[in-house]
Amino acid sequence: MIHYLPIAELEVNIFIILSSGFVVGFMSGLFGVGGGFLMTPILIFLGIPPATAVATEANQILGSSSSGAVAHGSKGNIDYEIGLFLLIGGIFGSTLGVIFFKFMRDAGNLDLIISILYILFLATIGTLMFAESALSMYRKEVSTTRIRSKRNIFHKLPLRFRFRKSKIYISILLPISIGCFVGILSALMGVGGGFVMVPAMIYLLGMNTVSAVGTSLFQIVFVTMNVTILQATFNQAVDLVLAVYLLIGGVIGAQFGSRYTSRLKGEQLRVLLAIIVMIVCFKMSFDLVSEPVINSRIIIQEIN
Amino acid sequence: MFFILILIFLPLSLNSQPLSFDLSSYEVTLKNNKKNNLTIFGYNKTKDLLVLKIVGPNQKVILQKKTKFLNMWTWKKSGEFSYPSLFHYYTNFKSDDIDFRVKKDLVDNIKLVGKDDDNLKKDLIEKKMTLGLFYVKNNSFKSIEKNNQDFFKIPIKLPYNSLAGKYEISMEVFKEKKLVSKKSKFFFVEKPGLNSFIYKFAHNFSFLYGLVSVIVAIALGVGAGFIFRK
């Protein structure tokens, strides 16, 4: 079951790639997350060049998110007004991210940047998630569908606009900034960014959870679309064959994962996810400081 | 097959030529398997040292090496080179002199853009050796017939990561450590199939490739969602 990946330019065991897609898809279904922040490090562990892993994962997230975006759109869960401003920021941020990606790749430091970003993000997410879940397991707080944000400095920003669907009155700079930040993450880390965007939309913008998830998916589809096209055009780093295998494994895994969600409590699920995130973070940190097995590589620039 | 080739080579040998060689094919198709993809057939009446050399299309590359930065390992651009993408050497017997010549030939053919201050050519050669793109094999001439040692064959396996393009194959004859004759031929390497098509498409029509990737991902995602919802 060995297959040659044309863009990654290496041979992989398809069974391992499909299994990885399945496992991450299973966790996506189980925990209700996109899974990009787990899939990209796993691909790097499997030997896929980080640039290809990031760009290909963006393409895979596009596929896995599009189905959810269509479903949420048909149920009226997308706030297109906020989505538009998120998208403006997202397109700007992701374009900026791809330019930076190319610059760092040419300089030879891209792998280090990707690893450091992942370690920082996984450590932060893992710790926060673990602490929050552990606390809520003791407190047994009842969650509400709408968490109104307290008035803070963000609500004093200029260019305020009334978003009728979400019934909020906020500055357009807020969704643009969130979108821009997530766009940069998407380009540099190959993630959808839902794990940042959804909490930000709930706690900072004051949107309800269902609408935040739907609008986030809407933004992710278009931003990952932009990242895929730009990464393919400027970095030739999107491996369509790899993306297809990951999508197949991921889609099937997600179906199984979602069946087990109801068997575990929300807090238990989050603690479990936090532990997985921390393990991946530890492995990335270890790889970054340990003596490399391969210490040289050749990058073809021109063929005569 | 062998007999047909022998019949082809026999008149050449009778024509008092001490050495002659030909290829099993002038168009080599690289496939992702372990089989040999090219065989050299020849006739050699001399007892001289023979070196079969295969040279791939020229390419410009960057060599990156891992270096420590704040206790973390990162890639650093070490050198820029211009050299043939593939070098394969096959000899009919082992000789220290030829070993030296082959290594010198490898080093001489690699042009470094800038100063070689860190044995970069040596690093590049080692890296290419591990990829199978630089290769030296002694005692690689196999007799076709038990009774007649004059007819030989050299089975060759070009690695799948060899570049597509025009390759030069030459047979060099050494007598008393001196090159006395050289015969060259050319053959073409191609990589058919979906992988090669995707590689070319991604590099030559990058924007279109990006669009296709987007369409394929959405079609698969929406399609799968539709199937599982049903």
pLDDT of residue A301: 64
What tokens were used for A119? 């370690």
pLDDT of residue B118: 53
C-alpha to C-alpha distance for B191 and A303, rounded to whole angstroms: 15
pLDDT of residue B206: 93
Judge: B65–A296 Cβ closer than 8 Å, yes or no: yes
- Which chain B residue is nearest to residue A295, measuring alpha carbons? B66
User: CB contact, 8 Å: B57 with chain A?
Assistant: yes
C-alpha to C-alpha distance for A273 and A81, rounded to whole angstroms: 32
- Taking Cα atoms as reference points, which of B51, B50, B42 lies closest to residue B149? B42
Q: Which residues of chain A neighbour B195 with C-beta distances below 8 Å?
A: 4-6, 241
Is the pLDDT at B162 greater than 50, yes or no?
yes
Is the CB of residue B50 less than 8 Å from the CB of residue B98?
A: no
User: CB contact, 8 Å: A228 with chain B?
Assistant: yes
What tokens were used for A6? 């044309």
**Strand residue runs (E) in chain A:** 2-5, 10-13, 160-163, 168-171, 296-303
Q: Which one-letter amino acid corresponds to residue A27? A: M
Average pLDDT over residues B201-229: 90
Is the pLDDT at A36 greater than 80, yes or no?
yes
Residues 131-190 of B with CB under 8 A from A: 131, 160-161, 163, 165
DSSP string, B6-31: HHHHHHHHHTT-SEEEEES-SEEEP-
> Residue A248 CB: number of other CB atoms within 10 A?
18
Average pLDDT over residues B153-170: 88
pLDDT of residue A242: 93
Residues 6+ apart with CB under 8 A from A149: A155, A203, A204, A205, A206
pLDDT of residue A207: 83
Average pLDDT over residues A258-283: 79
pLDDT band at B9 (very low <50, low <70, confident <90, very high): low
Q: Which one-letter amino acid corresponds to residue A90? A: G
C-alpha angle B79-B81-B86 in degrees, rounded to nearest 5: 130
User: CB contact, 8 Å: B220 with chain A?
Assistant: yes
Give the full edge-to-edge strand order of the sheet including A296-303: A296-303, B58-69, B72-84, B111-113
Judge: B218–A62 Cβ closer than 8 Å, yes or no: yes
Judge: A4–B32 Cβ closer than 8 Å, yes or no: yes
Is the CB of residue A110 less than 8 Å from the CB of residue A244?
A: no
What tokens were used for A152? 């803070």
Residues 6+ apart with CB under 8 A from A93: A179, A180, A181, A182, A183, A184, A186, A187, A223
pLDDT band at A57 (very low <50, low <70, confident <90, very high): very high
Is the CB of residue A11 less than 8 Å from the CB of residue A2?
A: yes
Q: What is chain A's mean pLDDT, rounded?
A: 83
More confident residue, A228 or A294: A228
Q: Which residues of chain B neighbour A5 with C-beta distances below 8 Å?
A: 195
Chain B closest CA to A192's CA: distance in Å? 14
What tokens were used for B42? 């020849």
> Residue B57 CB: number of other CB atoms within 10 A?
17
Residues 188-207 of B with CB under 8 A from A: 194-196, 198-199, 202-203, 206-207
Chain A closest CA to B168's CA: distance in Å? 14
C-alpha angle B70-B73-B74 in degrees, rounded to nearest 5: 100
- Nearest by CB to B220, from A230, A247, A298: name it: A247
The fraction of chain A above a pLDDT of 90, given in percent, is 27
Q: What is the Cα A77 distance to its own chain's centre? A: 20
pLDDT band at A38 (very low <50, low <70, confident <90, very high): confident
pLDDT of residue B13: 47
Q: What is chain B's mean pLDDT, rounded?
A: 80
> Residue B68 CB: number of other CB atoms within 10 A?
12
Q: What is the Cα A243 distance to its own chain's centre? A: 15
Instruction: Print burial letters for A142-159: b (CB count within 10 Å at least 16), e (below 16).
Output: eeeeeeebeeeeebeeee
Phi and psi at B59, nearest 5°, equal -150, 160
Judge: B123–A66 Cβ closer than 8 Å, yes or no: no
Chain A closest CA to B94's CA: distance in Å? 30
Judge: A63–B217 Cβ closer than 8 Å, yes or no: yes
What is the 8-class DSSP label of residue A251?
H
Is the pLDDT at A289 greater than 90, yes or no?
no
pLDDT digits (tens, 9 = 90+) for B65-86: 778 888 888 877 677 777 888 9
A:B CB pairs within 8 Å:
175
Q: What ipTM score was computed for the predicted complex, to two decimals?
A: 0.87
pLDDT digits (tens, 9 = 90+) for A200-250: 888 788 888 788 888 888 899 999 999 999 999 998 999 999 999 999 998
Percentages helix, strand, coil for chain A, rounded to the nearest 5?
70, 10, 20
Judge: B221–A71 Cβ closer than 8 Å, yes or no: no
Q: Which residues of chain B neighbour A107 with C-beta distances below 8 Å?
A: 77
Is the pLDDT at A145 greater than 70, yes or no?
no
pLDDT band at B3 (very low <50, low <70, confident <90, very high): low
Residue that the structure tokens 């960057």 belong to = B62
pLDDT digits (tens, 9 = 90+) for A80-94: 989 999 999 999 999
User: CB contact, 8 Å: B217 with chain A?
Assistant: yes
What is the 8-class DSSP label of residue A295?
-
More confident residue, A170 or B4: A170
pLDDT of residue A276: 86
What is the 8-class DSSP label of residue A261?
G
pLDDT digits (tens, 9 = 90+) for A59-72: 999 988 888 888 88
What tokens were used for A17? 């790639």
C-alpha angle A19-A24-A26 in degrees, rounded to nearest 5: 90
Judge: B211–A115 Cβ closer than 8 Å, yes or no: no
Residues 18-57 of A with CB under 8 A from B: none
B109-113, B171-175, B203-207, range with the lowest pLDDT: B109-113
C-alpha to C-alpha distance for A264 and A155, rounded to whole angstroms: 37
Residue B87, judged by CB atoms within 10 A of its CB (0-12, 13-18, 19+), counts as buried
The fraction of chain B above a pLDDT of 90, given in percent, is 14
Residues 84-113 of B with CB under 8 A from A: 85
Residues 6+ apart with CB under 8 A from B80: A301, B60, B61, B62, B63, B112, B113, B114
Q: Which residues of chain A neighbour B196 with C-beta distances below 8 Å?
A: 6
User: CB contact, 8 Å: A243 with chain B?
Assistant: yes
Average pLDDT over residues B47-61: 86
pLDDT band at B14 (very low <50, low <70, confident <90, very high): very low
What tokens were used for A83? 């989505």
Chain A closest CA to B176's CA: distance in Å? 36
Q: Helix/strand/coil (H, E, C) string of B151-190?
A: EEEEEECCCCCCCCEEEEEEEEEEECCEEEEEEEEEEEEE
Is the pLDDT at B20 greater than 90, yes or no?
no
DSSP string, B90-145: EESS--HHHHHHHHHHHHHHPEEES---S-HHHHHHHHHHHTTSEEEESS-PEESS
pLDDT band at B122 (very low <50, low <70, confident <90, very high): confident
Is the CB of residue B88 less than 8 Å from the CB of residue B168?
A: no
Average pLDDT over residues B186-201: 85
Residues 248-267 of A with CB under 8 A from B: 248, 251, 255
Average pLDDT over residues A165-177: 86
Domains along the sequence of chain B with CATH? 2-56+86-191 (2.60.40.1930), 193-230 (no CATH)
Average pLDDT over residues B135-151: 82
The fraction of chain B above a pLDDT of 70, given in percent, is 85
pLDDT of residue B230: 63
Cα end-to-end span (Å), chain B: 58
pLDDT band at A140 (very low <50, low <70, confident <90, very high): low
C-alpha to C-alpha distance for A175 and B84, rounded to whole angstroms: 53
